[in-house]
Each structure stands twice: as structure tokens, then as C-alpha cells.
Amino acid sequence: MSASVSGQRVRLCRTEELAVGEARAFTVEGRDICLAHCEEGFRAVDDVCSHEDYSLAEGQVDPETCEIECWAHGSLFSLIDGTPQNLPATRPVAVYPVEVEGDDVMVVLP
């Protein structure tokens, strides 16, 4: 899904479009971003597993621990700081700040 760009802040979706425990992939300015909804709120990371080139948005979100599992090889990543929690991944994924404005979920690009 593509998003419209407004400076460094980019609207991804409306809050009701992504339930707790779900993730969705977006392409923003050529970057693949995974937006996930945890119990504590929305989180955004690169949508490419650091172990191999697989979409994290297709994986399973644990809304309580705010982690996402790569569906291909089982690497688990923190959606808070991007660090891998187990093998085979050893490198973190980039994390992006997320802001909610009214009903809009925005990602802040560097």
C-alpha cells in the first residue's frame, strides 16, 4: 500500500484500519515499512527481515510483548527497538517513530 508524503511525517492509515495484533506493509519514499499495532500502541520498523529478504508484516505480532516474528525462519524482533530476540537474525531492523493525530497514524521518517 502506498502512502502520501507530507514532509518528514507520512500518514499511513486510520487507527481503526489496523486492529491490535495486526501488521501491514507500506511503501514510503522507496522504503518498505511494517506498521504493527501492539497493546501499547502503533510501532513501525523496516519491513524486511535482517536475516533474509522477507516481509515482517506477513509475520505474527505478539501484542503483549510488542514483538513480530518473521514468517519464513522464525526470527523474532522487538517492535520497540528493532533488536532480534533469537536466531537466525543477528542484526536489528530500523525503527521509526509513530504519532497518532486524531484518527490518523503517522510515521516520522529520518
Range of the domain at 46: 5-108
What pTM was computed for the model? 0.91
CATH number at residue 28: 2.102.10.10
| Mean pLDDT of the region 65-77 | 97
Which pLDDT does position 82 carry in this prediction? 98
Q: Which residues pair with 32 in a beta bridge?
A: 27
| Mean pLDDT of the region 87-100 | 97
Distances (CA, A) of 78 to 15, 35, 56: 21, 13, 11
Number of domains in the chain: 1
pLDDT at 14 over 60: yes
